[in-house]
Structure 1
């Protein structure tokens, strides 16, 4: 409302402009707040008393109830904080309107003092009944997690699911849902879980439109991923104790760091970016054959990173002469702990006509002990075919071992007439 004072100028009365906003805008504002913050808006005005009950997102983070520091730490105080968090979850879900939720987040990382498992399970069950599209659950506890995931894995509205489970009682948390039906799920991110082979197989069958799968710190005996919809796949620090088999004709991005006895890659026709790391537990007696197979099935990529970690004294000879040409490869990065994989560089220089950048990274540390190793960087003194030009060579992690760097550069110059830039990062 505008008033005019005696001088003829306009004066603005105090107006509650936020409360006068349309309901959909106020609801949108609440989406940027945690659930605790959204509830606190009820004191703003009468119009805001029940607005939080219509907030599209449910975000519970025990970090908002921070425990005191160790100097002022008392068990009863910690329990009081956790109890407040339990009451918040319970009261919000009881009073919330039955409209659907867009996002459900539950982040519990309180260490020794953790909400009761039954309260957590009830919270998750009530939230899943609201049909959220996105679900992020991060739980960290000092005790065993007896989590009921049935309603999570049958929430048909989910398009995104993140489930990170950590416990000091063991390295993994077992999840064995009775049934799996996620017809809309496009992104699945699991961390810290252990599943039976059958449960994992049913998980993939229950996600018919899955486009991105991320498994970190997981344990599954046999991982077989056969999907026509998957575009991004990350398997990082996973224990696949028997076999890893991937057949994904529409996959674009692949990142593998897995402890396993066997890796099989099939139908990688669309793959653009790949990063493969095989740890020292790999069966290196069969390295040559499997190495050929791995590289053969990555021949369409534009960017490639390879890392093979050998047990001490077990670096095998490599012969990839029968592998195909990498017609699309523009950047290749070779990482080595023992410096034996850098002799793959000539292979890529010869078989990658579009290659622009070669990165060689030492992850071992100082390489003085390798200077006298005649097998390191062993290769022909002359090349029958020499590449005309390479735009960039980047050498990383050699500190002040200039002797080895010179040896490395000389090896590359046997196979390339002109290198545009040589960048050395200690």
Structure 2
């Protein structure tokens, strides 16, 4: 059956007849570039994008940095300033100017931003610091910063003053010590429940990173690129889940983790001379957590280290007693080249002083 002109007109206008809040919800799932491009559809759409409260700015949508920077300036300058920002996601493969990044942060904070993700590279002078307003924003509930600044990593203030922050992800960050050679940046974030640290360093002769927070529930600690390792002191009485990944050469010290339920260890040993240090650090980590952990999950790369340690020729034989361990889960990849017999031996090696725990081998 052939459609009449009236039917075609009705189909054409059906989307545009939806309320603004419905259209804006649909545009929320687009990149900001595509959302702005809807302005050419009709007069109905011309100004609608200016009311967006979720912005996704990705340089992969543009041919070069100049076009990307101009677009960012245009969007933020033309947007309806009376509308608060809910989320801003900025991703740039390659370097951007730090002036642009500072301007974006200043705009975001002044519009009550709740969620901020920034993944960029910066080509800046030594000692570059981010705009301080982002570290004292009252509205932020989620913050992810992955900023590689050449030739130096991004330096953070001594203390983060973010009263509403619930989730914090930091990569390539440098922490500074206030006194006593100890950096303690998170204690003022009273609502923080999730913290992820990866490739983070200490600055100016600091020797300790203290993770002190009464409400933290989930903590992930990654590797460092510092040649000299530093000690991490975990003082989080309500911590439920701890994940340690990549290089285990950090020295961990814990204080009262009585609520700790689960530990995930996904580390790997590097080539000599670091490999022996990785072995010792892994055993040290297990000893530090032995009094608290109830569920322990070990990755294939972690099992490779333990496979070496559990052999009769190993000089490292002091395995801790996991006094509260109920479940040990060993994750096996087909590419790990560890036999079932070796996995069984690793399980027996770990639980030689903890016979009540259940062992599960998970193949993935």
Q: TM-score range by the shorter chain?
A: 0.7 to 0.9
Q: Aligned partners of 1:148, 1:336: CA distance in 2, in Å?
A: 45
After superposition, the Cα gap between the structure-2 partners of 1:298 and 1:304, relative to the gap in structure 1 and judged at 3 Å, is farther
User: What's 2:244 paired with?
Assistant: 256
User: What's 1:419 paired with?
Assistant: none
- Cα deviation for residue 25 of structure 1 reads 0.4
After superposition, the Cα gap between the structure-2 partners of 1:198 and 1:37, relative to the gap in structure 1 and judged at 3 Å, is farther
The root-mean-square deviation of aligned C-alpha atoms, in Å, is 3.7
1:189 aligns with 2:189: no
- Cα deviation for residue 343 of structure 1 reads 6.1
User: What's 1:106 paired with?
Assistant: 90
Instruction: Show structure 2 runs of 5+ residues with no match.
Output: none
Secondary structure of 1:27's aligned partner: helix
1:51 aligns with 2:33: no
User: What's 1:34 paired with?
Assistant: 31
Q: Aligned partners of 2:156, 2:72: CA distance in 1, in Å?
A: 25
Number of residue-to-residue matches in the alignment: 330
Secondary structure of 1:42's aligned partner: helix
- Cα deviation for residue 116 of structure 1 reads 2.9
Answer whether contact 1:188 1:214 (CA < 8 A) is retained.
yes
Q: Aligned partners of 1:230, 1:59: CA distance in 2, in Å?
A: 28
Match of 1:177 among 134, 157, 164: 157
User: What's 1:357 paired with?
Assistant: 360
- Cα deviation for residue 183 of structure 1 reads 1.0
Secondary structure of 2:92's aligned partner: strand
- Cα deviation for residue 150 of structure 1 reads 1.0
1:274 aligns with 2:273: no
Q: Aligned partners of 1:244, 1:106: CA distance in 2, in Å?
A: 30
- Cα deviation for residue 345 of structure 1 reads 2.5
Answer whether contact 2:27 2:35 (CA < 8 A) is retained.
yes
User: What's 2:220 paired with?
Assistant: 234
1:345 aligns with 2:348: yes
Q: Aligned partners of 1:48, 1:147: CA distance in 2, in Å?
A: 40
1:318 aligns with 2:317: yes
TM-score calculated relative to the size of structure 2: 0.76
1:21 aligns with 2:23: no
Which of the pair has more CA radius of gyration? Answer: 1
After superposition, the Cα gap between the structure-2 partners of 1:60 and 1:330, relative to the gap in structure 1 and judged at 3 Å, is same
Instruction: Show structure 1 runs of 5+ residues with no match.
Output: 1-8, 67-80, 360-393, 395-424
Answer whether contact 1:56 1:103 (CA < 8 A) is retained.
yes
After superposition, the Cα gap between the structure-2 partners of 1:325 and 1:23, relative to the gap in structure 1 and judged at 3 Å, is same
